[in-house]
Structures are given as C-alpha cells and as structure tokens.
Amino acid sequence: MQALASTNLAVEKEEFTSDALPDFTSESYKDAYSRINAVVIEGEQEAYSNFLDLAKLIPEHAEELVRLGKMEKKHMNGFCACGRNLAVKPDMPFAKTFFSRLHNNFIEAFKAGNTTTCLLIQCILIESFAISAYHVYIRVADPFAKRITEGVVQDEYLHLNYGQEWLKANLDSVKKELMKANKENLPLIKSMLDEVSNDAEILHMDKEELMEEFMIAYQDSLLEIGLDNREIARMALAAVI
Ligand code: PL3
Ligand code: FE2
Ligand code: FE2
C-alpha cells in the first residue's frame, strides 16, 4: 500500500513539476508546438519586414536597421529548423491571425510616419515579448532548439536596445505618442499571451513566469528610456485595464 502511494507520488511529480522536461515526441507536444513554432516563425518574419520599414522612417540609421532586420531572417531560419527537427509542421495560418491586429497597427503607423509608435511596437513590445518567451523556453526546450534559442535571445537585446536609445534621445518630443501607442498596443500583447498560454503550458512554459519575464524586460526598458516610476506604472497598467 505504502509502495503504491509513493509510486503515484513519483508519477505525479514527473507530470506536474514544471522543471521536468516534456516528452518532445508525444502527439500533444507536437500539436502545441505546431502553433507556438509558427507564432515564433511569423514573429521573426514580421520583425524582419518591420526593421526594413523602420529603415525608411529613420534613413540616417538605415544601415544599422537593415543589419538588425537581417538578424531576424536568421532567427526565422533557426526556428524553422527547430520545427523540422521535431517533425512538426508549423501552423502558419494560425500565426498570421495571431499577429494580425498588432501587425495592422504597425503598418498603419508606418504609413502615417509615426516612428515612435513603430518603435514601441517592434523594439519595445515585440522584442520584450520575444525575450521573455525565449528565456522561459530555453529552460524546457529540446537540446537542438535550446542551442538555437540561446543564440537568438542575445540578438533580441540589441533590437530592444536600438528602440530604447532612439526613444531616450527624443523623449521630450515623443512621450505623448509613446503613451498613446502603449495604451493601444500593450493590451494586444496581453491577449496574445492569453491565446497561446495553454499551448505554452504543454511545452512546460508557465504563464505567470512568462508574464513576469515580460514585465521585467518591458519595465527595464521604460526605465532606461528615462520614464519615472509613476509613468511606468501607468503604462504597465494598460495591460490589465
Ligand atoms: C522578434 O525578434 C521576434 C518576434 C517573435 C515573437 C514571439 C513571441 C512568442 C510568444 C509565444 C510564447 C512561447 C514561445 C516560445 C518558443 C520558442
Ligand atoms: Fe528575432
Ligand atoms: Fe528581434
């Protein structure tokens, strides 16, 4: 009786402890991975095209922005390889819909020449989202994907940093637009996270941990841009109200 009880306990621990690695070959893992992998591939692809657009908005930094954009293409290829390695076909239609609202907001801002909004969407929100997701994923990824993701996450800090520095240098004149763009787009990040949290859970990525990592990257960057605690708190609240 006692032996049975302790066996059950061991099984439970194996299944529910989030630091245990998932079974990368199970059907449920591959099914969830088909959407998460697609989201990441689509995110990298859109990031590439967003950086090319940013190069047009900030011609004096065009060379640097194109260089940053090319990194995104490499990231995309890396994540395509991760899917292939697990014999998973990414669900690209799902990912296109997943990004559509944020993508439309970026395109609209680009067409209107709203550089601040474009930088907030790509460099602050999307890059913080990527950094948080990749950090959490690295802890529970298969060895091949872990190696790829570790390389990618280093680059994402350069992307975050670019936006941060530009916004910092222009803060006085862009603050109002920054606040407005944040109010419109941070809630989209929150609902995107909600939308993939069940799939992420199957990959052993904890939702609270994802939110925590996101908030760290996001708030750190706002602090670096030069906003004060009250302004940062006000901006972060846009995610919950
Ligand atoms: C820009 O460099 C990259 C844009 C990608 C954004 C991806 C966000 C991913 C959220 C999905 C949550 C878990 C994924 C982790 C797995 C690789
Ligand atoms: Fe990237
Ligand atoms: Fe990036």
Q: What is the dihedral of CA 63, 68, 70, 75, to 10 degrees?
A: 180
Bigger pLDDT: 241 or 115?
115
> Considering the chain, what percentage of its residues have pLDDT values greater than 90?
90
Mean pLDDT over residues 2-17, rounded? 43
Query: Which atom of ligand 1 sits closest to the CA of residue 159?
Result: 2
The residue type at 139: R
DSSP 205: -
What is the model's pLDDT at position 19? Answer: 57
- For residue 11, the CA-to-ligand 1 centroid distance in Å is 31
Supply the CATH classification number for the domain 23-237: 1.20.1260.10
Q: Are 101 and 187 in contact (CB under 8 A)?
A: no
Instruction: Name the average pLDDT for the chain.
Output: 93
DSSP 60: G
pLDDT in tens, 51-109: 999 999 999 999 999 999 999 999 999 999 999 999 999 999 999 999 999 999 999 99
Which pLDDT band, with edges at 50, 70 and 90, does 8 fall under?
very low
Ligand 1 binding pocket, CB closer than 6 Å: 36, 39-40, 43-44, 47, 72, 75, 126-127, 129-130, 133, 137, 156, 159, 196, 200, 205
Query: Which atom of ligand 1 sits closest to the CA of residue 75?
Result: 2
Q: Which residues hold their Cβ within 5 A of ligand 3, which is an ion?
A: 47, 156, 159
All residues at 6 or more sequence positions from 90 whose CB lies less than 8 Å from its CB, including other chains: 34, 35, 37, 38, 41, 80, 83
All residues at 6 or more sequence positions from 102 whose CB lies less than 8 Å from its CB, including other chains: 121, 125, 126, 185, 188, 189, 192
From 20, 27, 151, select the one nearest 86 (Cα to Cα): 27
What is the model's pLDDT at position 13? Answer: 41
Q: Which residue ranges make up each domain of the chain?
A: 23-237
| Ligand number, closest to the Cα atom of 133 | 1
Q: Are 181 and 116 in contact (CB under 8 A)?
A: yes
What is the model's pLDDT at position 142? Answer: 98
| Ligand number, closest to the Cα atom of 148 | 1
Which pLDDT band, with edges at 50, 70 and 90, does 20 fall under?
confident
What is the model's pLDDT at position 73? Answer: 98
From 213, 22, 230, select the one nearest 130 (Cα to Cα): 213
- For residue 5, the CA-to-ligand 1 centroid distance in Å is 40
Q: How many CB atoms lie within 10 A of CB 227?
A: 21
Mean pLDDT over residues 206-211, rounded? 97
What is the model's pLDDT at position 60? Answer: 98
Mean pLDDT over residues 201-227, rounded? 97
Q: Are 218 and 154 in contact (CB under 8 A)?
A: no
| Residue of minimum CA distance from atom 12 in ligand 1 | 133
Which pLDDT band, with edges at 50, 70 and 90, does 11 fall under?
very low
Residue with tokens 């109010």: 183
pLDDT at 163 over 70: yes
The residue type at 117: T
